[in-house]
Amino acid sequence: MESQGATSIKNDELQQQAITEQTAQAPNEQPEQIENEQAKQFDIKNTAIIEYLDIVRSEYETERNKKQSFENRAGLIMALLGAICIFLFEKVHMRDIFALMTVPLTFLDLLKIISGLSVYGFFIITIIMIIQTIIVKQHDNFEVRSINEILLGEQRVMALCKIIFTYRDIIIQHRDLNEKRAKAFRISLYGISATLVSVIIYITLI
């Protein structure tokens, strides 16, 4: 009987020891599983980081091309304004317009005064808008001077995320400036169109 009791006690101790060992191993296994899951979660192949990097690169180039396109078109408008300016000083004289204001006005005289003043007014507006199209706040660029050994030693996932966010902020700034540039250029087109119409009306009434 004593032998059986001792055997029972020994078996209970072995079971208790096994439970203790399993409990001690569990916390050690859990962090390893968490680390493996995190590594799998942040694996570039399992994310859309590369796709978003391609997108921001493409959008960046698009906004830069828009800026160049506006500057080229503004240059053409400036050339046209130069030709109009030469014609303007030859055919539309401010002294003639003011002279019409000193005599009794007819409807045609009033129309000629309005068209003559409109030529100069719209011409000035067009020049201002073209200048605003060309001279806008400087576009931000990727700051290459900030690249150093610390950045080069970062994990690839974190580094790519920073690059994407940097491109995002630059694209937003470029897009805002291009929208302002587009608005100014559109007004300049209206201005030069109105200038040409006013010149035609003024010459017709001579």
Are 149 and 167 contained in the same domain? yes
Exposure string over 44-54, b if 16+ CB within 10 A, otherwise e: eeeeebeebee
Which has more pLDDT, 77 or 43?
Answer: 77
Q: Comparing 31-35, 123-127, 159-163, which segment has the lowest mean pLDDT?
A: 31-35
Are 104 and 185 contained in the same domain? yes
- Residue 70, number of CB atoms within 10 A of its CB: 19
SS3 135: coil
Are 7 and 104 contained in the same domain? no
Are 136 and 62 contained in the same domain? yes
> Is pLDDT of 193 > 70?
yes
Are 159 and 71 contained in the same domain? yes
How many domains does the chain divide into?
2
Q: Where are the beta strands (DSSP E) in the chain?
A: none
Are 30 and 69 contained in the same domain? no
Residue 161 lies in domain: 46-204
Which has more pLDDT, 88 or 206?
Answer: 88
Q: For residues 96 and 35, what is the distance between their CA atoms, to the nearest angstrom?
A: 86
Q: Average the pLDDT over 25-38 and give the result.
A: 46
* Distant-in-sequence, close-in-space partners of 129: CB < 8 Å, separation ≥ 6: 184, 185, 187, 188, 191
pLDDT at 26: 42
pLDDT at 34: 42
